[in-house]
């Protein structure tokens, strides 16, 4: 018999042996006669034994007490958990006695479901959803009432009244993929408990046994409005172990009676259990050793899964047989105890439908193989995580075993970091939703900072996912997938009192909580509230921005309806006064900015495309600085990158590679320029000279593809410096020594491309020195080095000094005044550090925990600042990063100031001229600093055409 895809043979499937087919009829009759005689003897012997037993007495030599307990276990094995109820409870099981009721007045509320009576089809289309003006009463850890003008006089006298002042209120955000607590920050060997790597198949380990309740990141995450997280083991193992849902309230400061892991559990009754599994690259990279043990391929991984499921299935069958027999003859007659193996208990519960399965799977073969496993062993999957390729094969997800297809737990636009993440789309959520599947947005904290997981949903909305579905993707959808959909995820009576009041629309750039409640208890005693314009949201739900996927090249085009232009005034039409600007482009160049009446008339007559915008923005292009774009294509694949080493000082221009997917998307999102340096030891480390190039280039010899061969000399003094110099102090001393040698050298280098030759340019002021460093201590050491070198230069040459720029700068705000005094600029990369490593442990994470972040402190001190990107996938988000700085600056930054952070400021810091080329520009529909802006045209600075997005 043949078994097709999805109909794989069970391990017990074997062919009938040939000898059995050749068995003779005469021999068969003899054997039958002998077998009947034996059977008759056995029956007689058993009857006589039974008759001789004393009636009513136990014949088992086993412990009746233990057998009774085993029988009770049988009942548990046969039970199927149900989603716990919410409505009808008098109090939350997590409620702590003595906590006062809270009445939140004058809020603009997102309930999380459409108005009553909305049919399912209309609800999926977004009908019936709206923001409503109402009050919310929290009592006994529950939402007790949602209604207009709740009478304070009718409540107990100790009720706390909190005025929302019309601001937006939602349920707490739910992150369905986090490693907070098991992958504590800052990352240290001693507190890393994400993966149990003693074996590939570890269903018997539990994330709860490694959660560090004092992980500060738990509090940081909560400051982003996240009240609930699914804490998963890591993805190195094909079967990683049990996961647990926690709430982000820890100990007495957060209103709890005790500080314990058990007290974090979101459902103290433990109605549902959870497990993490993983397909793809990680397991075979981690465990596979050719010729010794697997898996070394996806083929081997499927065997690992199927073999594990079969072992668990054997235990399940043995248990079922025991329980059936015990029911039939009574435990007094049982001659063995219930088979129980702790190694396979969790996986057995999976096969019994008692555990919600969450599986890390990226690629089509991974997804399809795992769907096959679900059908062979008959268990459902709640969600595929990461799930980059799910948007390509929705029909495969719908083939999974169970009543409903798996959700896809996604990043909004994080991709390209390894081969299985190379295929992906920022429009994945939109596509999945249109195919009746459920997108959910997650952080994979600390991969992304879960503090900003709502920003992933906001970007998904910007990429076309309907507003209600985007907000559901971090509230109601994960709640339902966790089996807690009647307890969390909505603002309704009977639900847990997990509430967030926001300073702006939660799906807008820079949104931050004003206050967070968990189980009815306010979490911040003195929260920082950012100064933002009061904006009362409309009851109407925001419309889905139109997506733009196709690109065409045109030489001539005219745009009308430009409301803001950020190009230099020299490029604007002189002597004109206008509110709505027209931009005429001919031969790939801007020929007019202003009224442009002649150009409009000419375009109308000649059939040149005229595009009318509603709220057009004309800006300089963005510049990517700090990542390795142009020097690699897939981060984890050595064959696709330039490479590097602590022992090597090289020029980035010599390893530059054009026409990669990363560069295509950079141009498409308005990033026409990049400045990249060779890698030192890994991501966000640099050593050598950086190159400036245009993302639209075809090769390094193309005219205009490279705008600067050697922009700056780069070194790394982060923790990574110890890999090449043994110690930070040695690395600093080595740099000082090299610079002093360059000051003392009087001869012209015979080879102008050596490290010494470039350092001579640093000390003569013709090239800046750019150091990647985060620690305030490292920055202080560099400022001392600069003082030493500047003094040596003045001593030997009479005047001068080096130009120093810091890249990274997580703790740079601690030396803001000193940096300003030394005229040292900072490129913040990342813009928002979250203390991932030791040298960033003092970083500012922003409101409501801290008053501002590094960018605010540096700008206030007069430090020259730009925004860089630490990973290439962020090319899509550069404008939004500038938007965060703008929205959260308290009015200090203008739109132009914010845009300069990702364009002109980069060039100013590096001593370069900014882009004034009429062939380099970006036209947006909407502000590039806001969610939902659309790039309409990009002048890439090369050739006679512009990229038009239609």
> Which token pair is 333?
């007659």
Cis peptide before 19 (omega within 30 of 0): no
Alpha carbon 791 to chain centroid, angstroms: 47
In angstroms, the CA 266 to CA 249 distance is: 10
DSSP three-state, residue 33: helix
C-alpha torsion angle, residues 871, 876, 882, 885 (rounded to 10): -70
Where do we find the tokens 């043994």? Answer: 726
Number of helices (H), then strands (E), in the chain: 25, 35
Q: Cα–Cα distances in Å, from 370 out to 6, 359, 362? A: 10, 9, 11
> Which token pair is 498?
């997990």
Q: What are phi and psi of 258, to 5 degrees?
A: -145, 160
Burial tier of 78 (Cβ tally within 10 Å: 0-12, 13-18, 19+):
exposed
> How many CB atoms are located within 10 Å of the residue 451 CB?
27
Strands 521-522 and 513-518: antiparallel
* Cβ atoms of 186 and 805 closer than 8 Å: no
> Which token pair is 58?
């136990």
Query: How much is the pLDDT for 49?
Result: 46
In angstroms, the CA 495 to CA 790 distance is: 64
Nearest to 353 by CA among 544, 79, 154: 79
Q: In what order do the strands lie in the sheet with 589-594?
A: 551-554, 946-949, 934-940, 920-925, 610-619, 557-565, 581-586, 589-594
Cis peptide before 441 (omega within 30 of 0): no
Nearest to 472 by CA among 176, 232, 180, 272: 176
Query: How much is the pLDDT for 543?
Result: 73
Cis peptide before 830 (omega within 30 of 0): yes
Grouped pLDDT means (10 residues each) for the chain, 950 residues = 40 34 41 52 47 50 96 97 96 97 98 97 97 98 97 96 97 98 97 96 98 98 98 98 98 96 97 98 95 95 98 98 97 97 98 98 98 98 98 98 97 98 97 98 98 98 97 98 98 98 97 98 97 66 71 96 88 58 96 95 96 96 97 96 95 98 97 97 94 98 97 96 91 97 86 96 97 98 98 96 98 98 98 96 98 98 98 98 97 97 97 86 97 96 94
> Which token pair is 343?
């190694």
β partners of residue 716: 772
In angstroms, the CA 244 to CA 484 distance is: 13
> How many CB atoms are located within 10 Å of the residue 394 CB?
16
> Which token pair is 179?
């490693």
Cis peptide before 255 (omega within 30 of 0): no
> How many CB atoms are located within 10 Å of the residue 798 CB?
7
In angstroms, the CA 908 to CA 905 distance is: 5
* Cβ atoms of 347 and 309 closer than 8 Å: yes
pTM given for the model: 0.92
C-alpha torsion angle, residues 122, 126, 129, 131 (rounded to 10): -160
> How many CB atoms are located within 10 Å of the residue 118 CB?
16
> How many CB atoms are located within 10 Å of the residue 800 CB?
15
In angstroms, the CA 203 to CA 275 distance is: 8
Nearest to 934 by CA among 944, 925, 922: 925
Half-sphere exposure (Cβ direction) of 237: Cα atoms closer than 13 Å: 24
Task: DSSP letter for 641, please.
Answer: B
Nearest to 516 by CA among 210, 836, 162, 927: 162
Half-sphere exposure (Cβ direction) of 828: Cα atoms closer than 13 Å: 31
Long-range contacts of the stretch 9-13 (C-beta < 8 A, 24+): 10/310, 10/376, 11/306, 11/310
Nearest to 439 by CA among 388, 379, 368, 499: 388
Query: How much is the pLDDT for 94?
Result: 98
* Cβ atoms of 774 and 811 closer than 8 Å: yes
In angstroms, the CA 205 to CA 207 distance is: 7
- Alpha helices in 116-192, H assignment, sequence order: 120-124
β partners of residue 587: none
In angstroms, the CA 200 to CA 284 distance is: 9
In angstroms, the CA 231 to CA 180 distance is: 7
Instruction: Output the CA angle 480-484-490, nearest 5 degrees.
Output: 75
Where do we find the tokens 């679900």? Answer: 374
Burial tier of 713 (Cβ tally within 10 Å: 0-12, 13-18, 19+):
buried
CA end-to-end distance (rounded Å), the chain:
52
In angstroms, the CA 599 to CA 584 distance is: 6
Query: How much is the pLDDT for 9?
Result: 40
For 691, residues 6+ apart whose C-beta sits below 8 A from its C-beta are 630, 651, 652, 653, 656, 675, 676, 677, 706, 708, 709, 710, 711
* Cβ atoms of 445 and 178 closer than 8 Å: yes
Q: Cα–Cα distances in Å, from 455 out to 81, 411, 481, 881? A: 33, 10, 20, 11
Instruction: Output the CA angle 485-491-496, nearest 5 degrees.
Output: 60
> How many CB atoms are located within 10 Å of the residue 492 CB?
16
Query: How much is the pLDDT for 37?
Result: 54
In angstroms, the CA 482 to CA 382 distance is: 8
Burial tier of 932 (Cβ tally within 10 Å: 0-12, 13-18, 19+):
buried
> How many CB atoms are located within 10 Å of the residue 917 CB?
17
In angstroms, the CA 710 to CA 178 distance is: 41
* Cβ atoms of 611 and 559 closer than 8 Å: yes
Nearest to 888 by CA among 425, 512, 467: 512
- Alpha helices in 404-463, H assignment, sequence order: 428-434, 453-462
Q: What are phi and psi of 152, to 5 degrees?
A: -60, -35
């Amino acid at each position: 018999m043949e078994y097709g895809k999805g109909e794989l043979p069970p391990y017990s499937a074997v062919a009938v042996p040939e000898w059995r087919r050749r068995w003779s009829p005469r021999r068969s009759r003899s054997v039958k006669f002998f077998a009947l005689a034996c059977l008759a003897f056995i029956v007689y012997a058993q009857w006589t034994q039974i008759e001789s037993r004393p009636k009513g007495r136990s014949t088992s030599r086993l412990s009746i007490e233990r057998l009774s307990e085993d029988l009770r276990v049988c009942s548990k094995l046969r039970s199927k958990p149900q989603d716990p109820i919410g409505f009808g409870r008098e109090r939350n099981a997590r409620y702590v006695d003595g906590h006062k009721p809270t009445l939140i007045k004058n809020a603009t509320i997102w309930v999380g479901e459409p108005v009553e009576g909305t049919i399912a089809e209309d609800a999926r289309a977004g009908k019936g959803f709206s923001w409503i003006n109402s009050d919310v009463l929290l009592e006994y850890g529950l939402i007790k009432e949602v209604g207009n003008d709740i009478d304070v006089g009718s409540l107990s006298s100790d009720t706390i009244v909190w005025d929302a002042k019309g601001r937006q209120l939602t349920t707490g955000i739910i992150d369905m993929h986090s490693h907070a607590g098991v992958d504590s920050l800052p990352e240290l060997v001693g507190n890393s408990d994400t993966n149990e790597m003693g074996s590939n198949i570890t269903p018997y380990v539990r994330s709860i046994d490694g959660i560090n309740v004092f992980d500060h990141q738990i509090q940081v995450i909560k400051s982003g409005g996240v009240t609930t997280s699914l804490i998963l083991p890591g993805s190195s193992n094909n079967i990683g172990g049990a996961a647990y849902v926690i709430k982000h309230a820890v100990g007495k400061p957060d209103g709890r009676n005790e500080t314990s892991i058990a007290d974090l559990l979101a459902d103290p009754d433990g109605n549902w259990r959870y497990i993490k599994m993983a397909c793809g690259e990680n397991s075979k990279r981690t465990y596979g050793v050719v010729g010794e043990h697997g898996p070394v391929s996806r083929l081997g991984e499927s065997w690992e899964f199927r073999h594990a499921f079969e072992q668990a299935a054997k235990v399940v069958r043995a248990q079922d047989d025991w329980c059936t027999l015990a029911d039939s003859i009574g435990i007094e007659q049982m001659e063995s105890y219930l088979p129980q193996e702790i190694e396979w208990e969790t996986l057995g519960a999976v096969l019994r439908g008692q555990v919600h399965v969450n599986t890390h799977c990226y690629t089509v073969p991974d997804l399809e193989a795992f769907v096959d496993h679900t059908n062979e062993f008959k268990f459902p999957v709640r969600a595929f995580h990461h799930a980059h390729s799910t948007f390509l094969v929705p029909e495969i997800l719908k083939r999974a075993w169970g009543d409903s297809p798996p959700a896809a737990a996604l990043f909004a636009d994080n991709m390209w970091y390894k081969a299985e993440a190379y295929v992906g789309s920022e429009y994945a959520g939109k596509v999945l939703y249109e195919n009746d599947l459920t997108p959910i947005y997650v952080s994979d904290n600390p991969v992304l900072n879960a503090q900003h997981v709502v920003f992933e949903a906001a970007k998904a909305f910007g990429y076309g996912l309907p507003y209600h579905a985007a907000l559901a993707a971090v509230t109601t959808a994960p709640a339902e997938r966790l089996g807690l959909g009647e307890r969390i995820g909505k603002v309704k009576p009977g639900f847990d009192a997990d509430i967030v009041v926001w300073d702006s629309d939660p799906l807008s750039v820079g949104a931050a909580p004003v206050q967070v409640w968990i189980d009815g208890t306010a979490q911040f005693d003195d929260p920082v509230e950012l100064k933002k314009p009061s904006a009362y949201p409309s009851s109407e739900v925001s419309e889905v921005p139109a997506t733009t996927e196709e690109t065409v090249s045109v030489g001539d085009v005219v745009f009308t309806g430009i409301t803001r232009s950020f190009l230099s005034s020299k490029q604007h039409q002189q002597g004109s006064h206008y509110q709505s600007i027209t931009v005429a482009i001919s031969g790939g160049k801007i020929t007019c900015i202003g009224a442009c009446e002649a150009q409009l008339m000419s375009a109308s007559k000649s059939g040149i495309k005229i595009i009318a915008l509603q709220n057009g923005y004309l800006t300089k292009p963005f510049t990517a600085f700090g990542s390795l774009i142009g020097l690699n294509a897939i981060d984890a694949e050595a064959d696709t990158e330039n490479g590097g080493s602590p022992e090597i000082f090289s020029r980035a221009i010599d390893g530059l590679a054009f026409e990669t997917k990363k560069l295509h998307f950079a141009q498409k999102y308005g990033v026409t320029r990049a400045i990249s340096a060779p890698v030192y030891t890994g991501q966000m480390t640099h050593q050598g000279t950086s190159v400036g190039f245009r993302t639209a280039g075809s090769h390094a010899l193309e005219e205009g593809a490279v705008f600067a061969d050697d922009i700056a000399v780069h070194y790394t003094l982060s923790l990574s410096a110890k890999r090449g110099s043994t110690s930070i102090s040695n690395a600093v001393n080595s740099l000082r020594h090299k610079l002093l040698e360059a000051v003392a050298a009087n001869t012209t280098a015979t080879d102008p491309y050596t490290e010494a030759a470039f350092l001579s340019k640093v000390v003569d002021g013709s090239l800046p020195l750019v150091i990647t460093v985060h620690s305030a201590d490292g920055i202080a050491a560099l400022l001392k080095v600069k003082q030493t070198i500047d003094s040596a230069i003045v001593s030997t040459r009479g005047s001068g000094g080096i130009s120093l720029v810091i890249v990274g700068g997580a703790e740079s705000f601690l030396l803001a005044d000193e940096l300003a005094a030394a005229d040292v600029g900072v490129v913040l990369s990342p813009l928002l550090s979250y203390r991932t490593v030791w040298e960033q442990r003092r970083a500012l994470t922003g409101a409501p925990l801290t008053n501002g972040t590094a960018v605010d402190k540096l700008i206030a001190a007069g430090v020259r600042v730009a925004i860089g990107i630490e990973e290439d996938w962020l090319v899509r988000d550069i404008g939004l990063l500038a938007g965060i700085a703008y929205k959260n600056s308290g009015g200090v930054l203008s739109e132009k100031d914010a845009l300069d952070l990702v364009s002109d400021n980069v060039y100013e810091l590096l001593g370069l001229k900014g882009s004034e080329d009429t062939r380099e520009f970006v036209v947006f529909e909407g502000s590039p600093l806001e969610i939902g802006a659309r790039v309409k045209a990009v002048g890439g600075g090369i050739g006679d055409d512009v990229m038009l997005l239609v």
